[in-house]
Amino acid sequence: MPISQRNSFSERARDPKLVTLVAFIAIALTVATGVYLASGDTAEDGYVSTYTPSVQPPRDERPVVFPTAADAAIRAEFSAIPDGSISRPFRTYDNGGNASRMRVEGGAVRHGESEAENSASYMEASLPSDVQRIGATVVLEPDGGSVALTAWQDSIVDSRVGGHSVPNAGLHLVLSPDSWSVGNYDSALRQHRVVTAGYYPHDVVADGVTPYSFELIRDEDTVTIRFPDGTSQDAISPVFEDWIGAWPSWDLYERYPQMTPARIIAAWAS
């Protein structure tokens, strides 16, 4: 561009009226969408993935962003998603113990009241590499069900649909109404092996209303648990690395019948 043209453009760019107009347009666009989508993201009905999925591109874009997980490879804020079945990049499996299947309803992932012991539903995604980070914003019910954030060694959905045993899980954070535990899921023993556990910070109350965010961050055999109040705790186990896989899942579970399930407001993983 000739120097005279560049100077003319520079002078126009400094025009206060032009700056004000541009700023007003930018604000209007932000308010209209209510969200921001990073370059390269794709979205459909509130779901966002920053890697290329194995399915067709989404039909429309409804971008979302999470202040606590803006750079996650997969993230979803379910308040931005219409009621109905859960769709890509997630898949679900229900073991049939609840009054209704896992779905999006009222801005959250939920399933119906438990009608049997060990009722469970799984919402799974697939990453291009092993899970390094998984988080969720949840609402816990007093004396209700729990939420688990899990990183499976293989697909939990494929395993259950195919009638196979549940795979090992290198990461398994269980969020109960009044306490938490982190460890691994041992397929051979069919149980959660606890590495460390504790009670929530004093400001976390399972009241069926308030959402709280939790996150696991893995660095080889060390996991950092991040709590809603900004505190964190480390746990170390060789299984965090040895049994890790590329299948994160967000699970709802009730030990007994007639328990009120927890809800998942947002989910993310990398």
Do 96 and 159 fall within a single domain? Answer: yes
Per-residue pLDDT band at 167 (split at 50, 70, 90): very high
Query: Could you tell me if residue 48 is inside a domain?
Result: no
Query: Could you tell me if residue 39 is inside a domain?
Result: no
Bridging pattern class, strands 47-49 and 74-77:
antiparallel
Do 106 and 21 fall within a single domain? Answer: no
Q: From CA 120, how far away is CA 114, in angstroms rounded? A: 9
Instruction: Report the b/e string of 202-239 with b at 16+ CB within 10 A.
Output: eebebeeeebbbbbbbbeeeebebbbbeeeeeebebeb
- Model pLDDT, residue 45: 35
Q: For the segment 52-72, what is each residue's pLDDT rounded down to a tens digit? A: 222 323 333 333 334 557 789
Do 12 and 89 fall within a single domain? Answer: no
Report the predicted TM-score, pTM, of the whole model to 2 decimal places: 0.76
Query: Could you tell me if residue 228 is inside a domain?
Result: yes
- Model pLDDT, residue 208: 96
Query: Could you tell me if residue 188 is inside a domain?
Result: yes
Q: For the segment 172-193, what is each residue's pLDDT rounded down to a tens digit? A: 999 999 999 999 999 999 888 9
Residue span of the structural domain in which 166 resides: 82-269
* Number of independent structural domains in the chain: 2
Find tokens 């993935």 and name the residue: 49
Do 112 and 182 fall within a single domain? Answer: yes
Query: Could you tell me if residue 184 is inside a domain?
Result: yes
Q: Residue 189: give its domain's CATH number.
A: 2.60.120.200
Query: Could you tell me if residue 173 is inside a domain?
Result: yes
Q: CA torsion sign, 24 to 28 to 29 to 34?
A: positive
Query: Could you tell me if residue 197 is inside a domain?
Result: yes
Q: For the segment 126-161, what is each residue's pLDDT rounded down to a tens digit? A: 999 999 999 999 999 999 999 999 999 999 999 999
Do 178 and 97 fall within a single domain? Answer: yes
Query: Could you tell me if residue 53 is inside a domain?
Result: no
Do 20 and 98 fall within a single domain? Answer: no
Do 135 and 28 fall within a single domain? Answer: no
Do 127 and 21 fall within a single domain? Answer: no
Do 12 and 105 fall within a single domain? Answer: no
Do 134 and 248 fall within a single domain? Answer: yes
Stretch 7-24: mean pLDDT: 40
Stretch 102-127: mean pLDDT: 97
Q: Within 10 Å of residue 35's Cβ, how many Cβ atoms?
A: 16
Do 17 and 86 fall within a single domain? Answer: no
